Amino acid sequence: MLKPAILYKSEIEKHFVEVMYSDDYFYYMGYAHGHELPKVEPFDNMYQWAIINKANEVIGWFAYRIDPVNDSVYNFGLYSFDKGNVLIGKDVFEKMEELIARHRRVEWRVIEGNPVIRSYDRLCKRHNGHKAVFHKVTKGPDGIYRNEYVYEILSESEEMDDGIIFSRNLCDSCINNDCIFQSGIVRNHCDFYKPESEG
């Protein structure tokens, strides 16, 4: 379950302090010997979540930024404090699916060797996204240079005769009823905007 991280600020910060010198922290920071801790504070256009288990314990942290001008989501951060717990992947990917459905563009990066890459590949493929590679750009704590992968998912869109951009078929209602909803005005409420022929 995802809950606002600020509610669990002290627990999240304690978890990060415990892992900041681990090799795994490299995959979060993106470069060796990076020990800066995330600031669990409210910032404009930034969302931070605590990933919580059934016992109300913090098992992970998930964050991203939203650019409201360009309707894009970027600068993702994810850390598992309970390695291998499937709840973390479930909660994170449910939220990512929601973000993909709501926003024009979603972009995230990952370092070679991170075990979550296979799941990211599947998500990207499911949404006809793109994956780019920057070769040997960052050195790990073991001295080996690793690739960086950048994922990008764009919503399907088309320009109508009047020049307004509409997103088409981004939810089950759209697919089943062949309706469209205007990006940036109506989101996930497809019944509010139908083709004129149905009006």
pLDDT tens digit string along 130-154?
999 999 999 999 999 999 999 999 9
CATH assignment of 2-155?
A: 3.40.630.30
Q: What is the C-alpha to C-alpha distance for residues 171 and 163, in angstroms, rounded to an integer?
A: 23
pLDDT at 156: 66
Q: What is the pLDDT of residues 149-182, one digit of tens each?
A: 999 999 865 344 455 444 433 444 443 444 433 3
Q: Give start-end residues of each CATH 3.40.630.30 domain in the chain.
A: 2-155
Sheet holding 105-111, edge to edge: 2-4, 46-52, 58-67, 72-80, 105-111, 145-154, 130-139
